[in-house]
């Protein structure tokens, strides 16, 4: 599951593989992770909380049919 968190990272849980643009895999061993979406993390692609003091705002919602 990928959960969009208000004003924060994407939280990824469950069974998944994370690869970079060259096909190299990150060793996340199936544990939950948070992916940066503000661009401020020093540990990209992972969130390090850099969005907290940066006034990053994003509150997307799925369209309702």
pLDDT score recorded for residue 30: 78
| pLDDT tens per residue, range 7-48 | 999 999 999 999 999 999 999 987 999 999 999 999 999 999
What domains does the chain contain, in order, with CATH numbers? 1-65 (3.40.5.90)
pLDDT score recorded for residue 14: 94
pTM: 0.85
E strand map for the chain: 2-4, 10-12, 33-35
pLDDT score recorded for residue 25: 95
Cβ proximity of 37 and 9 under 8 Å: yes
Cβ proximity of 38 and 50 under 8 Å: yes
């Amino acid at each position: 599951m990928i959960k969009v968190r208000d004003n924060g990272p994407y939280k990824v849980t469950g069974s998944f593989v994370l690869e970079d643009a060259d096909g190299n895999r990150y060793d996340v061993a199936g544990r939950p992770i948070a992916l940066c979406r503000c661009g401020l993390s020093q540990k990209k692609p992972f969130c390090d909380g850099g969005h907290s003091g940066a006034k990053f705002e994003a509150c997307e919602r799925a369209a309702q049919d």
